[in-house]
Structure formats: structure tokens, C-alpha cells
Amino acid sequence: MTESRTTLVVSAHPGDFVWRAGGAIALAAHRGERVVIACLSYGERGESAAQWRAGKTLQEIKQIRHEEAEAAAAILGAELRTFDGDDYPLEETPELRQRLIDLYREVQPDVVLTHAASDPYNMDHPKAAEIALKARVLAQAPGVSGPGDVIGAPPVFCFEPHQSEVCGFVPNVLLDITEVWETKVAAMNSLGASQGHLVDYYSDLGRRRGVQAKRNSGPNLGLPVTTLGEAYQRVYPQVTSELA
């Protein structure tokens, strides 16, 4: 298929892009579009408790998480770029920021997905969003050094945090991912060695968001009886010539 659009996903850790945006990634890939995932860290300190309890070393954990991220991205149909930044805390360094600016200009994304702006349970998630938004703005500026052409102004969608109720996350986009649900489940299961306890949680969330999507879709959209969904929040206003 011809690659008509490109999606860039900026994720703090390997699991984040799977749990929260796996459906959107799989849908875009299924349509023949290019999806590139920028994984800023391996989550080796903050999101790999099972591996630490198993007595693994830091480098062993990084390798495990790298393999998990590669497997999940392959299942979803996406390209993976790993940055190997530190986690807990994830910090914005000049090198990390420049690498992401360079990736924006290389990929020229039509859509960007990243974390929500607030998460009191995990400081790495809003930091990843902050870096993603800053790099997007800098990648638009001709005066900022870096290879390739400057980018346009791709819309940014924040995917749902783990506990949206305490993160100020109010979804204004509900995405029907029914068509690729089994692909997302397979990608979630590929993370079982490190974060298998989250599979049931995000399976339940997908069903709840699907119910909400069907309820809000109106009589003419034709969503299936059992709809699975993901929730998103726009950062910038939608630009349209028709209200729909």
C-alpha cells in the first residue's frame, strides 16, 4: 500500500505506546500508513519491578525491555526508535531534545501521539509530553539547526493516562479500534514478562471506552454491537471547513 500519512508516537517507556495507543497505531498501519515510535527510555528503573525482583541487572533489564518494545512495535506494524534516556526520572537533555527534533524533521509527521500533560503517579509521562511538544515547535523553526526540512503543524493527540480521573484528562476524541483489537491484545501480551498485570486493566478500559464511543456516535456511524475504543485529548484546535 502507498504510505499516505505518517504518525509519530512519543512514548516515555516501552509499555506506554502499547497500553494507551496500540489501537491507533495498529489502525494506521492497517491502512498502509507509516507509524514511527520514539521510545525515550526503557523504563528500566520505574516500570520493570518484576525484572528487579527476579534479580536481573540494569543492562539485562534494558535488553529485556528493548526486546519487548521491538516485539510489540512489530505486532502493531510500527517502526521503533529507542533513545535510551534515563527514567525515574526522565530528564530533558540537549542531546535527547535534538534527537527528537531531528526525528520530527526526518519523519515529517501528519499526526503526533504522546502522553497527557499531567500524571501525579509517574513524572516521566508528563515530561515526555513536554519534550514532545517542545521538539515539535522547535522542529518548525528554520533557525533551529538540524537535518532536513522544517515540519508543518501536525495535530497532537494525548493518549489516556493510567488513572485519568486524577490526571485532569477529559477525552474529546473516542477512537473505534474494534477492527484491530486482537492486534492490540497480542501486543499487550508481548509485554507480559515485565508488566503482564496491566493486560486485564487495559482490556477492561478498551471495552468501557468502546461503550462510550458507541453511545456518542449517533445512529448513522454504524459502530459494531461490541465496540472497543481508545480515548484521546487534542492539544491544539481542530481546523475544519465542516462541523461534524
Structure pTM? Answer: 0.94
Domain positions in the chain are 6-234
Residues contacting residue 218 through CB under 8 Å, at least 6 positions apart: none
3-state secondary structure 34-101: EEEEEEEECCCCCCCHHHHHCCCCHHHHHHHHHHHHHHHHHHHCCEEEEEEECCCCCCCCHHHHHHHH
Over residues 187-224, the pLDDT tens digits come to 999 987 667 788 999 999 999 999 999 888 765 566 77
Tell the CATH superfamily of the 6-234 domain. LmbE-like (3.40.50.10320)
Handedness of CA 11, 205, 76, 107 (dihedral sign): negative
Looking at residue 38, its amino acid is A
Min mean pLDDT across 161-165, 180-184, 212-216, 236-240 is at: 212-216
CA distance 142 to 27: 33
Please report, for the chain, how many H helices and E strands are present, in that order.
8, 7
Residues 167, 155, 36: CA angle, nearest 5 degrees: 90
Residue 221, pLDDT score: 64
Over residues 33-51, the pLDDT tens digits come to 999 999 999 999 999 999 9
Average pLDDT over all residues of the chain: 94
CA distance 9 to 156: 10
Dihedral in degrees, nearest 10, Cα atoms 21, 41, 233, 186: 10
Phi and psi at 125, nearest 5°, equal -65, -55
CA distance 35 to 118: 25
8 A C-beta contact, residue 11 and residue 31? no
